[in-house]
Chains A and B, each alone.
Chain A
Amino acid sequence: MNEAKIRKDIRRYLGSNTVLDIVSEEKIDKILDEINLKYTPRHIYGVYDLYVKETKISFIGTVLEIKSKDLYKVLKNSEKCIIIACTLGIEIEQRLKQCSCIDLENAILYDAVSAAYIESYLDDVTLKLSQGYAEKGYHMTMRYSPGYGDLGLDVQPKIIDILQAQKRIGLSSNDDHLLIPRKSITAFIGLQQKPYINLNNRCDNCLIRNICELRKGDKNCGTT
């Protein structure tokens, strides 16, 4: 785990770009220890051959077909695509709930820490996969999740079905297609022969690109 990045993300979620006060930092340490010790993040993925025609992307051997200009931009040179899902599990959800009725400060900290943690967990998994595929001569594209650009959340239940994520890692979605437990991520990662260059400004893929306060101030949120 990239501790430095986790901490940077936690602070960013809490509205800061510098070290927080000592009490908060100490509490964050404690929560990180608790997550490391008590909670088990899990992931599952599948690799599928792609058939891409215009903006329609088909995942061979599955029933999944996606129409998305923005996902197409990412996957247009890819032969294969990894579909991955990960979750920090239900226990952290219960801990968050417990905190929000007795200690809101802790609830905020747990929320930020667990969000940064699962993101970093997925970074690690992705890195390992990219090393494995590099040996086979593949380059990875950026990680692209439902909710980015024009890729709707309605693809979440399909991802869950294809990966059997409910049975294998306890991940499901609710009627509004939100992932349950909440500290979970799903994503597509293309595999291609040529090196991947992200021609998009990173903000281009963002859901809130038109209304982002940071962008108006010519900053960015640091998400890659």
Chain B
Amino acid sequence: MELLKLLNEKVLIFDGAMGTMLQREGLFGGELPELYNIEKPEIVRKIHKAYVDAGADIITTNTFGANSLKINKTPYSVENIISAAVENVRAVTTNQLIALDISSTGKLLEPIGSLSFEDAYDIFKEQVLAGVKSGVDLILLETFSDLQETRAAILACKENSTLPVFCTMTFQDNGRTLTGTDPKTFVNVVQDLGIDALGVNCSLGPKEITPIVEEILKWALLPVMLQPNAGLPILENNETIFKLEKEEFTEFIKPLIDKGVAVVGGCCGTNPGFIKLLKESFGGKKVVPRDVKRKTAVCSSTKTVIIDGSIKIIGERINPTGKTKVKAALKENKFDFILNEAITQVEAGADILDINVGLPEINEKETMLNIVKELDGIVDVPLQIDSAKTEVIEAACRIYCGKTIINSVNGNQSSMDKIFPIASKYGASLIALTLDEDGIPKTCEKRFEIAEKIIKEAKKYGIEEERIIVDNLVLTASAEQEGVLETLKAIKLVKDNYNVRTTLGVSNVSFGLPNRHMINKTFLLMAMTYGIDVPITDPTATEIVDLIKSFEVLSLIDIDSQNYIRHMDSKKEPSTSDKNNIEKSHKDLKSIILKGLKDEVEEVTTLMLKDNEPMILVDEYLIPSLDKVGQAFDRGDLYLPQLIRSAETVKKSFVIIKEQLSKNGSLSISNGKILLATVKGDIHDIGKNIVKVILENYGFEVIDLGKDVTPEEIVKTVREKDIKLVGLSALMTTTVVNMEQTIKELKEANLDCKVLVGGAVLTPDYAKKIKADFYCKDATESAKVANSIFNVNK
């Protein structure tokens, strides 16, 4: 282990390709190279020996894909393979270190793929434990392209071993990994997870990889490691080959060593010759020091927000406190509403989104995890985890693919004792509230004292000042008028003394005063002049973002007003066709629905509600127009996009009508409950979603179980919610069998419900064969069936 003490002092040399060498020895395409550890150990040892002779300091085990997903299909266990692999290295090494090689499971993680984070973690854990047992010196995580999978692997290493961990990802020619992570985000997310070195491997050749390595060197506080391919892959005579010669390879790497790369080796296409030359050129050279300063970085899986200089906005709208619609959506599990809120805030200019789902009636942890998972990829901005419960914070930090902000910790010793270990483990930043056992102090000096206490305590956990965002807690001006200025002065005080960032929940200031928005805006402006970095506010509120952007112009943050101009330009962009249509329409609800003028329908519905009963609008406008659109669709006069455009127009109108109904104290419209699901094994859900919007338009309450739904879940829901009609969708012949199975289980459970089926591969005959009650060729037909079953006579 002496060698590891040299890490970041002297350049260390890793070995080169294993796969390429095994192919030369006769490995078949699609054959598991890891089996050679047991079946042909002499070949594996020969290759390791060649790298030892070439001068590599660290030898990597032949265990790239030695995970249970792959190995369980063979006669061996993961532990068999790994212990044999380690033995093969040990047999030929002298004082070289042994690195346990771990790469991707080969499956894509949720939400796009089907492998859960915890399952991925367990798979890696098994490998790590086997490596520890076999006595490896370090773990090399390499060729990862999914940041979430990388996180799972790192956590598995850190929680199941004390070994040093080196971690490299593979990037594409567009400068991102295959799942969209850029080098800056990769570095910022993984470097506070307790690893020892990070960098790039595989990807491209050393020439093409250069800009990526340079970016990593710019951000990495840890030693940087590099293992490129021998150029880009070329197919020649039925074989993938890498053509770059070792001299050129080394030549391209030299400038990167000069910029501070500390560990170097080879990936696909390299051989012991490459490693020998690397050793001769760079082995034992002093690592060139870099001057990298820690920044306040917050990351999603694809984007890093640096809080430094310009004002960043934390969107506050996903929070049930005082928001009836959010509350209702959370209670009814209507995630679409929450996702919509997220997208709207991002479009309005939010840089980070605060997520708070604290409602006593719901399972906060489960809801938080679902939302955090689902939002990955739907919005690209980082999330801030906001909860009063430690277990919710911990679980969300674990699952969140990024580098989050925890909202919040405060000056209470118990709060710090609970929250700091979580922030430290998952690399999160924190919002630090300046309150303690005695409550919120009145003066700015006392607030500063608490901030100072938190900052000092955080340091004990290795949490640097840059990861702390102090919230000096503004009180409402109506009750504590003199406190407002104290809060503002405290911003300056903490920033003058520490390299922390500051935030405030802006809207708190205006409780109890008329025209709250005016007070909020003015307070935000004042806070910005006092140096606030990242206000928590509602970016969709009128002029909030404008105010921030113009402040940045006048305070010399936005040089040449470029951001301001871009922001103002982006505010005007109605599509020409929509605009023309709007101008031409007669503001008549029927024609608005027929034309699908989604942007106009809300205004007209509201207007018409002044003179009409809500149900008149439904019965005389919405439903007849929908029928007409449906008939035109049946005739082939209009096509699917138009049908959906009209249906979504009706949906928007419905939202307003339902609000009116509930204001009037009338019961909401429900013609009956219908369960919809895409069957097990099928991941296509657009067809089902089309049926859903049409059924909702006709006043049915749709319980949407989503896609890939098991028969058990469907039966259970039908029983629990007393559902009379189930709609099943399947798009592939291979999944129609699961549709048949679902129907069978529903009938066997003796549930009094009918089943309608649809999907590309179904026919009326086939539907009959699998004992469905109804076959619907499209969404309008399903509405007809539903109307007849629930006796809706419209």
Contact = CB atoms under 8 A, between A and B. Distances in A.
Report whether chain A binds chain B: yes
Interface in B635-659: 638-642, 644-645, 647-648
B689 A16 contact: no
A138 to B, nearest CB: 13
B689 A47 contact: no
Interface string A139-179: 00000000100000100001011100011111010111010
Which interface residue of A167, A169, A207, A208 has the most chain B CB atoms within 10 A? Answer: A167
Contacts of A168: 233
Interface stretch (B43-51, B171-179, B277-285, B358-366): B171-179
A63 B74 CA distance: 14
B104 A46 contact: no
Contacts of B378: 94, 97-98, 101
Q: Which of A46, A64, A168 has its CB near the most chain B CB atoms (within 10 A)?
A: A168
Interface string B316-360: 000000000000000000011001100100000000000000000
A105 B31 contact: no
Contact of A161 (B30, B107, B683): B30
Given A16-B639, A108-B644, A176-B681, A158 B30 contact: yes
B29 A61 contact: yes
Interface string B447-473: 000000000000000000000000000
Contacts of B763: 211, 213
A4 interface: no
Nearest to B777: A213
B596 A64 contact: no
Contacts of A16: 639
A24 B113 contact: no
Interface in A96-150: 97-98, 100-105, 107-109, 111, 147
Interface stretch (A69-77, A85-93, A196-204): A85-93
A109 B686 contact: no
Contacts of A169: 178
A1 interface: no
A16 B340 CA distance: 31
A14 B640 contact: yes
A104 B689 contact: yes
A151 B235 CA distance: 27
A178 B145 CA distance: 20
B86 to A, nearest CB: 23
A105 B112 contact: no
A48 B28 CA distance: 11
Contacts of A90: 108, 112, 178-180
A190 to B, nearest CB: 14
B309 interface: no
B445 to A, nearest CB: 47
A27 B112 contact: no
Contacts of A33: none
Interface in B564-616: 575-578, 581, 596
Nearest to A157: B106
Given A23-B581, A102-B339, A89 B644 contact: no
A170 B645 CA distance: 34
Contacts of A51: none
Contact of B112 (A61, A63, A93, A100): A93
Contact of A167 (B104, B174, B336, B641): B104
Given A24-B639, A108-B690, A174 B180 contact: no
- For B30, B108, B343, B638, the residue with the greatest tally of chain A CB atoms inside 10 Å of its CB is B30
Contacts of B143: 167
Contact of A91 (B180, B336, B647): B180
A147 B762 CA distance: 16
Nearest to B343: A102
B734 interface: yes
B240 A15 contact: no
B624 interface: no
B685 A180 contact: no
A27 B157 CA distance: 47
Contact of B648 (A49, A105, A162): A105
Taking each of B30, B339, B641, B642, which has the highest tally of chain A beta carbons within 10 Å of its own beta carbon?
Answer: B641
Given A62-B30, A63-B30, A23 B578 contact: yes
B503 interface: no
A111 B690 CA distance: 13
Interface residues of A, number: 63
Contact of B28 (A45, A62, A109, A172): A62
Interface string A1-45: 000000000000011100011111011000000000000101001
A147 B576 CA distance: 42
A182 interface: yes
B274 to A, nearest CB: 20
B577 A47 contact: no
A15 B685 CA distance: 17
A104 B112 contact: no
B240 A100 contact: no
Contacts of A175: 114
B106 A162 contact: no
B29 A162 contact: yes
Nearest to A21: B642
Nearest to B734: A153
Given A45-B235, A94-B112, A181-B112, A104 B648 contact: yes
A156 B484 CA distance: 64
Interface string B759-785: 011110110000000000000000000
Contacts of A158: 30
Interface string B175-191: 00011100000000000
B639 A14 contact: yes
Nearest to A167: B143
B512 interface: no
B337 to A, nearest CB: 9
B372 interface: no
A166 B106 contact: yes
B733 A108 contact: no
Contacts of B111: 97
| Max chain B Cβ within 10 angstroms of own Cβ: one of A94, A103, A169 | A94
A108 to B, nearest CB: 6
A48 to B, nearest CB: 7
A126 B689 CA distance: 34
Contacts of A97: 111-112, 377-378
B332 to A, nearest CB: 15
B703 to A, nearest CB: 17
Contact of A105 (B335, B645, B734, B760): B645
B377 A94 contact: yes
Contacts of A24: 639, 641-642
A178 B377 CA distance: 20
B596 A23 contact: yes
Interface string B231-253: 00101001010000000000000
Given A21-B638, A46-B240, A47-B235, A180 B113 contact: yes
B210 to A, nearest CB: 20
Closest 5 CB pairs of A and B: A170-B178, A62-B29, A94-B377, A162-B30, A24-B641
17 contacts: A14-B641, A20-B639, A23-B581, A23-B642, A40-B172, A46-B238, A62-B28, A63-B30, A90-B180, A94-B180, A94-B377, A97-B377, A98-B378, A100-B689, A101-B340, A108-B640, A180-B114
Given A94-B180, A102-B339, A108-B644, 20 more contacts: A15-B639, A22-B577, A23-B578, A23-B645, A27-B641, A40-B172, A40-B174, A46-B235, A80-B238, A98-B377, A98-B378, A104-B686, A105-B641, A107-B689, A108-B690, A147-B732, A158-B30, A167-B104, A172-B113, A174-B113
Interface of A: 14-16, 20-24, 26-27, 40, 42, 45-49, 59, 61-64, 80, 89-91, 93-94, 97-98, 100-105, 107-109, 111, 147, 153, 158, 160-162, 166-170, 172, 174-176, 178, 180-182, 207-208, 211, 213
